[in-house]
């Protein structure tokens, strides 16, 4: 890489380019120009050669011209005064008899990013719009948009806009699409290009002439058109019907999105369209390009949210290939779990079983998690497989299996006996903290059914000094107390040792506090302790057993065929369970921890509104700050009363009671007073700021203002959140 001594390099090139002998030899000259571009691409600053390159642009060799123009566009903004010299040549080229030269010059002239360009390019663009060569018209149309982007704040030129609307009738299909694009950019502030009935119908009739890129783009523009009547709607749909089966996935998917949106009032039509597109979608899931495969899989997942049965018969298409990258395999397993039914369960399980011994531990654990989720419906078959896996004596497998056992017991209490038997028979224990926590929870919760439980636990207590994870220690404390309640004779001694160690020698404050809590609880008596420590032994809501609800199509149609499904921010909440190994506190697990059970016990349904808030895993300050900066304010509302005059920790406790977590607040009576809070609700995270005494809005300084941000957006949840917040603040005040 020529980063070193680059000045020498530039000087040498400069000498060569200005050498008359080189200039006379066209091939040599061009070679040097090529060299300049090569250095430019590599990131070397060759802007010093601008003058020589301008000279080189006066040539009849089109290939050389293209290279020089590429150079000029890159450096024009650095050397605006020199760039002006090039403009004369370019303007001359704009009048060349060869349309290719005209188009080339016009395109590159519009690409110069420097102030004051508009006066030079306006006239050639207007002339280009009426050029008889379609190639020049294409360039000129986009040139209008470029000209606008050079001066984004100036008034929109009405004549150009009208001319562009007129050019929508151009015979050349690319000119038509470019007009849409240019109008969209120019009229961005006014809501983009207007698709009225004549334009929509004109575009629909031209669909067949367009190439696939233009087709999918026009289909996206048509999303904003609303047909006047059902007759018109069905005319449009029948016109577009054939595109649902297009060989190009992007056209098929864009058509489907349009169908879903236009036919939002006709579920039967939507279902038909989904059925039609299932073939192209499935084909992308098996495409040679793995990126396309991934996009296909993500969209299949979206469709399955509303139509879980659509791909049921094609479940074999989602078997993982040996050489596929892990991110595709993960998606496929997620889909397989959703597709399980009575007929295919045996085959799917056999397939998943074979992934459990994969050399990649992450993949093996994900496969075990997938079996664990299927176990919530087909517990017997899955338990056999999971038990069989324990025989392999692989640490990562054992740990994942134990974690699945814990979840299974929580969600399907009927399998408790079988699980307890297996755990008892399982000789080796998991080595990672996730697995240890799961095992300890099982021992504590169901110690009465596992005869060896106290001895296993004693092993952990004896090895406490070498245990690094504080989460494991906390789980151990809770589990020992639970065990003490059901088998006091065997546990008393070791519980004493454990509490003694944790209170006297433990350096971690949280663990010590937990130990003190347990100790004081026990001081109050066994019955008191039992009341606090023991909660329900299984998921009281039974939500998972009933299966996932079929969502209405409108829930996801707006993000269909966008980057959303691929970038993962729109994932179903269940994925959190699969990646439990990476996330120390996934939501499922948090529910199992006793302290949150305490909260549910002490705050019965008095906060029950339309929506329910939950705390979920805690957010770090950094995460909160990052998200706060990234997100837009969705709602700002004046509370109508000043901030509560109570002590701040009372306020914090009150908010905690309704599952709103306080992250930070300004101390005392400082003005302006601020507090940042967050909470979760049905798959969305709500962030909010409370503010009093904002200098920028002096009129309302007495009253508290709440600003809400959210990810992903769910207006219903925001309304619920604000009303709960209002309620609790009002109460405290």
Partner 1 sequence: MISQIFILSSKGDHLIYKDYHIIMKHFRGEASKDSINVFYEMVTALSGDQTPVVMSHKDLHFIHVRQGGLYWVASTKTNPSPFTIIEFLNRLAALTKDYCGSLSEKSVRMNFALIYELLDEMVDFGYIQTTSTDILKNFIQTEAVSSKPFSLFDLSNVGLFGAETQQSKVAPSVAASRPIMSSRGEQSGKNEIFVDVIERLSVVIGSKGVLMKSDIQGEIRIKCFLPTSSEMRIGLNEELSIGKSQQKGYSSAVRVDECRFHQAVKLDEFDTFRILKVCPSQGEQTVMQYQLCDELPCAPPFQLFPSVQKDYVNRVLIFLKLRCDLPPKSMSQELSSPDQTAELQPKNKALLWEIPRFPGGAQLSALFKVDVPGLSSASLLEVGPVSMSFELAKQTCSGLQIRFLRLAPTQTGLSQRWVRYVTHSDSYTIRI
Q: How far is the CB of 10 from partner 1 (least distance, A)?
A: 16
Fill in the per-residue mask, 389 to 418: x = in contact with partner 1 (CB under 8 A), - = not in contact. --xxxx------------------------
Residues in region 44-83 near partner 1 by CB under 8 A:
59-63, 66-67, 70, 74-75, 77-78
Any contact of residue 209 with partner 1 (CB under 8 A)?
no
Of 163-171, 268-276, 557-565, 633-641, which segment contacts partner 1 by CB under 8 A?
557-565
Residues 6+ apart with CB under 8 A from 45: 6, 10
- Backbone φ and ψ for 561, nearest 5 degrees, come out as 60, 35
Residues paired with residue 688 on neighbouring β-strands, in sequence order: 677, 708
Residues 226-245 that bind partner 1 (CB under 8 A): 245
412/399 Cα distance (integer angstroms): 20
Q: Kindly identify the residues of this chain, within the stretch 258-317, that bind partner 1 according to CB under 8 A.
A: 279-280, 283-284, 286-292, 294-295, 314, 316-317
Interface with partner 1 by CB under 8 A: which range of 41-49, 223-231, 447-455, 648-656? 41-49
Applying CB under 8 A, among 97, 540, 698, 699 the residue interacting with partner 1 is 97
Q: Which residues, 350 to 379, sit near partner 1 by CB under 8 A?
A: 350-351, 354, 357, 359-360
User: What count of other Cβ atoms lies within 10 Å of the Cβ of residue 224?
Assistant: 13
Nearer to partner 1, 339 or 481 (CB): 339
Question: Which of 125, 706 has the CB closer to partner 1?
Answer: 125
- The site for partner 1, by CB under 8 A, has a size of 101
Residues within window 150-169 making contact with partner 1, judged by CB under 8 A: 152
Query: To the nearest whole angstrom, how small is the minimum distance from the Cβ of residue 399 to partner 1?
Result: 16
What does the alpha-carbon distance between residue 22 and residue 28 come to, in Å, rounded to a whole number?
6
Q: How far apart are CA 245 and CA 534, in angstroms?
A: 58
Q: Let me know: does 355 contact 320? Beta carbons within 8 Å.
A: yes
Q: How far is the CB of 395 from partner 1 (least distance, A)?
A: 13
The reply to whether 92 sits near partner 1 by the rule CB under 8 A is no
CA distance 199 to 166: 10
Among 564, 573, 617, 683, which residue sits at the site for partner 1 (rule: CB under 8 A)?
A: 564
Judged by CB under 8 A, which of 145, 167, 443, 724 binds partner 1? 145
Q: 711 in helix, strand or coil?
A: strand
Query: Rounded to an integer, what distance in angstroms lies between the CA atom of residue 628 and that of residue 623?
Result: 8
- Closest approach of partner 1 to the CB of residue 61, in Å: 4
Q: What is the C-alpha R_g of the chain? A: 34
CB contact at 8 A, 728 and 655? yes
Smallest separation, CB 390 to partner 1 (Å)? 9
Tell me the closest approach of the beta carbon of residue 428 to partner 1, in angstroms: 11
Decide whether 36 or 199 has the Cβ nearer to partner 1. 36
Distance between CA atoms of residues 595 and 478, nearest Å:
10
Helix (H) / strand (E) element for 685: namely strand 684-692
- Name the residue nearer to partner 1 (CB basis): 184 or 689: 184
**Cβ-based nearer residue to partner 1, 118 or 597:** 118
CA dihedral 446, 452, 453, 459 (to 10 degrees): -170
Strand, helix or coil for residue 102: helix
Q: Backbone phi, then psi, for 563, in 5-degree steps? A: -75, -15
By CB under 8 A, is residue 127 in contact with partner 1?
Answer: no
Query: Could you say whether residue 431 binds partner 1 (CB under 8 A)?
Result: no
Cα–Cα distance measured from residue 246 to residue 722, given in angstroms and rounded to the nearest whole number: 47
257 CB burial (10 A radius; 0-12, 13-18, 19+): buried
- Which residues contact residue 490 at a Cβ distance below 8 angstroms, ignoring those fewer than 6 apart? 454
In the bound state with partner 1, the residue whose beta carbon lies nearer, of 164 and 729, is 164
Q: Return the H-helix or E-strand segment holding 165.
A: helix 158-167
| Token pair in block for residue 116 | 């004051």
**Selected binder of partner 1 within 254, 258, 483, 725 (CB under 8 A):** 254
Q: Which of 526, 563, 601, 653 binds partner 1 (CB under 8 A)?
A: 563
* Gap between the Cα atoms of 51 and 20, Å rounded: 15
> Which segment (8-16, 322-330, 334-342, 677-685) binds partner 1 by CB under 8 A?
322-330
Contact with partner 1 (CB under 8 A): which of 213, 584, 633, 672? 213
Smallest gap from residue 97 Cβ to partner 1 (A) = 6
Is the CB of 286 or the CB of 488 nearer to partner 1? 286
Q: How far apart are CA 180 and CA 174, in angstroms?
A: 10
95 binds partner 1 (CB under 8 A): no
Give, in degrees to the nearest 5, the angle at Cα 498 between 496 and 500: 70
């Amino acid at each position: 890489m020529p980063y070193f001594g680059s000045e020498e390099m530039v000087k040498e090139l400069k000498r060569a380019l200005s050498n008359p002998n080189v200039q006379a030899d066209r091939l040599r000259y061009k070679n040097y120009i090529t060299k300049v571009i090569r250095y430019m691409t590599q990131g070397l600053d060759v802007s010093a050669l601008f003058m020589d390159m301008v000279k080189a642009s006066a040539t009849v060799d089109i290939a050389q011209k293209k290279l020089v123009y590429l150079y000029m566009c890159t450096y024009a903004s650095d050397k605006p005064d020199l760039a002006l010299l090039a403009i004369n040549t370019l303007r001359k080229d704009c009048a060349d008899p060869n349309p290719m030269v005209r188009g080339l010059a016009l395109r590159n002239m519009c690409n110069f990013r420097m102030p004051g360009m508009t006066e030079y390019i306006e006239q050639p663009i207007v002339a280009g719009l009426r050029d008889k060569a379609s190639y020049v018209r294409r360039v000129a149309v986009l040139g209008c948009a470029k000209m606008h982007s050079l001066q984004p704040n100036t008034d929109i030129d009405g004549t150009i806009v009208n001319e562009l609307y007129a050019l929508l009738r151009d015979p050349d299909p690319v000119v038509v699409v470019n007009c849409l694009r240019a109008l969209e950019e120019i009229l961005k502030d006014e809501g983009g290009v207007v698709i009225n009935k004549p334009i929509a119908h004109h575009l629909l009739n031209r669909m067949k002439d367009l190439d696939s890129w233009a087709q999918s783009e026009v289909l996206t523009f048509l999303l904003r058109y609303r047909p006047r009547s059902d007759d018109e709607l069905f005319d449009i749909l029948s016109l577009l019907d054939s595109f649902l089966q297009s060989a190009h996935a992007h056209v098929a998917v864009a058509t489907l999105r349009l169908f879903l949106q236009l036919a939002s009032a006709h579920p039967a039509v939507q279902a038909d369209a989904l059925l039609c597109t299932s073939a192209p979608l499935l084909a992308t899931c098996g495409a040679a390009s793995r990126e396309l495969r991934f996009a296909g899989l993500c969209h299949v997942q979206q469709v399955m949210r509303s139509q879980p049965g659509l791909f049921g018969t094609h479940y074999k298409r989602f078997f993982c290939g040996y050489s596929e990258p892990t991110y595709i395999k993960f998606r496929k397993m997620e889909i397989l779990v959703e597709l399980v039914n009575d007929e295919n369960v045996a085959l799917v399980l056999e397939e998943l079983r074979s992934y459990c011994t994969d050399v990649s531990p992450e993949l093996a654990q994900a496969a075990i998690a997938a079996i664990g989720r299927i176990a919530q419906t087909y517990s017997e078959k899955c338990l056999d497989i999971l038990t069989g896996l324990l025989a392999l004596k692989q640490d990562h497998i054992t740990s994942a299996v134990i974690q699945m056992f814990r979840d299974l017991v929580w969600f399907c209490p009927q399998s408790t006996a079988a699980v307890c038997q297996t755990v008892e028979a399982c000789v080796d224990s998991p080595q990672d903290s996730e697995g240890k926590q799961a095992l300890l929870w099982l021992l504590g919760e169901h110690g009465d059914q596992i005869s060896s439980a106290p001895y296993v636990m004693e092993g952990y207590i004896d090895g406490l000094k070498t245990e690094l994870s504080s989460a494991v220690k906390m789980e151990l404390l809770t589990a020992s107390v639970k065990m003490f309640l059901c088998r006091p004779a065997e546990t008393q001694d070791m519980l004493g040792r454990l509490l003694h160690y944790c209170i006297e020698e433990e350096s971690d404050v949280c663990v010590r506090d937990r130990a003190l809590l347990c100790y004081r609880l026990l001081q109050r008596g066994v019955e008191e302790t039992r009341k606090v420590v023991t909660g329900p032994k299984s998921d009281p809501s039974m939500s998972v057993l009933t299966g996932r609800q079929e969502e209405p199509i409108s829930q996801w149609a707006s993000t269909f065929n966008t980057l959303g499904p691929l970038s993962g921010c729109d994932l179903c909440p269940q994925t959190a369970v699969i990646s439990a190994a990476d996330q120390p506190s996934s939501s499922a697990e948090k529910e199992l921890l006793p302290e949150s059970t305490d909260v549910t016990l002490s705050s019965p349904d008095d906060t029950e509104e339309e929506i329910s808030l939950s705390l979920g895993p805690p957010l770090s300050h950094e995460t909160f700050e990052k998200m706060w900066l990234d997100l837009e304010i969705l709602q700002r509302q004046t509370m109508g009363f000043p901030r509560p005059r109570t002590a701040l920790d009372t306020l914090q406790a009150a908010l905690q009671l309704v599952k709103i977590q306080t992250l930070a607040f300004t101390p005392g009576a400082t003005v302006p007073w601020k507090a940042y809070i967050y909470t979760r609700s049905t798959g969305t995270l709500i962030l909010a700021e409370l503010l009093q005494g904002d200098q920028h809005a002096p009129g309302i300084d007495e009253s508290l203002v709440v600003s809400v941000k959210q990810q992903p957006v769910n207006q219903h949840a925001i309304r619920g959140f604000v009303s709960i917040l209002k309620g609790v603040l009002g109460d405290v005040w």
